[in-house]
Structure 1
């Protein structure tokens, strides 16, 4: 597991997070960003409706008490070298990526001055959040698109470069709601990565250093193939079913924690019942 940042804070959301009620997840993002002193920038690169989507998050974050909230709208790579955008990131205590199309985020931002600036701030402890497409881009290699509600096959998922805030893993979102276990397993074997995370809607992985805690109404599904005893990926054609044996599956609801470095649930003061289910 490539995780060397000692100040890293990430709030990775499976999409469709509550914006009208208690806003548990967005509240946690604001709290970690400094509470009433938070200075948040909203990255709208993923969406074709940047003003509408950005202003919706401005209303939520200001209602929760953030001191200063602004949109960084990058419609092109040229916008990602704007001195105004770079200054905003330099002063930010939280950076939030909206949903939309994850390929738009990487095509506009990856390798730019703004990308470098956000990674620098992340290493300094600034909170990086993202929902839906903004969650998909967190690994160094991401799911660009793929089929849902199907068995694992090579041809159901397309992979591409991510933003690299949480390297060495694969992340999928809207997980239970869209039946994406098959495509997560496919992506995990194609990459290949050691850990795959499927995040339900209105649910988040809150990463601090080398562990995360689950918050929200759903679960985070962890697929760990580090000790898998068999895979047929080298022996099949792309439209043939994938097999994997000996992998581990963890289902983690609100309040459960996971050690990213040692690849184990942290079960202190938690019931052991649903902790780990062997797959295959």
Structure 2
């Protein structure tokens, strides 16, 4: 994407309300999303992975682990098999699509068709879209999601959830238009931007840059060993860290249409929410839900 294209998209995201998705709630018929900021506990109580298994059917859960993002599919797949089996899932299978043609493998498609929960591991989010986007397996995942299965992802598996994802970019920096590189995501949670390893890697500037490049108003930064669970119109925070919600729906000023490539971004009147475990967020009303 050229700088001019970035500026045009960024300007549209702030000035053309008709192009911005007002509600990012999931349809009631769809399943839930468990989006993890990375480095989730896999050896202790495994609270986040335990919650995923519970929501995917508990002792009747049939889990498929997608290892497409990692360069170590055997090792990573075995780790999650051991965790999910220890937590009591009825079955755990690994589907590895190391090459794009693997996405049409009948065994993999059969496993997804039978699954109650699908889990994407960490690694490189660009590999997920390169190998899966617009394939038969991609279509099946979206159909099964619309039928109610749970889809989860950690780190790269979290980054790929929106329709436009952060591919890479600088951490610990002020927001500029060149900080975040964007590309198509898998489109399970549309109309938002997501970043992971958030507090640990100082990625607020990167998230703001990503939001400015897209016709969206909401961004979510998810800390490590922390998850957001999306169920219809409500988001729940789960884990030991917090999430950062950035809402730019009511901006009074931005300089996005005047910037050169490396110049700092201005966003005035953006709203910021910090939400730890037990808090939530209403995706229709765009308001936090306080813990009772």
Query: If the TM-score is normalised by the length of the shorter chain, which range does it land in?
Result: over 0.9
Instruction: Summarize the alignment of residues 1-280 of structure 1 with structure 2, pairs less than 5 Å apart.
Output: 1-6=23-28, 7-267=30-290, 269=292
Q: Which has the higher contact order (CA 8 A, sep 6+)?
A: 2
Residue correspondences, number? 269
The alignment partner of 1:234 has SS state of helix
Instruction: Give the SS at the match of 1:250.
Output: strand
Q: Report the CA distance between 1:76 and its aligned residue.
A: 1.1
RMSD (Å) for aligned C-alpha atoms: 0.9
Greater helix share, structure number: 2
TM-score by length of 2: 0.91
Structure 2 gap ranges (5+): 1-22
Contact 2:223 2:241 in 1 (8 A): yes
Q: Equivalent residue of 1:154, what SS?
A: coil
State the Cα distance separating 1:185 from its structure 2 match: 0.3
Scaled by the length of structure 1, the TM-score of the pair is: 0.95
Superposition misfits of 4+ residues, deviation over 6 angstroms: none
Call closer, same or farther: CA 1:63–1:268 in 2, change over 3 Å: closer
Superimposed CA distance per residue, residues 256-275 of structure 1 (whole angstroms, 9 cap, x where no aligned partner): 01011111112262xxxxxx
SS of the residue 2:68 aligns to: coil
Give the gaps of 5 or more residues in structure 1: 270-280
Asked if structure 1 preserves the Cα contact closer than 8 Å seen for 2:24 and 2:283, the reply is no
> What residue in structure 2 maps to residue 273 of structure 1?
none
Superposition deviation, residue 252 in structure 1: 0.2
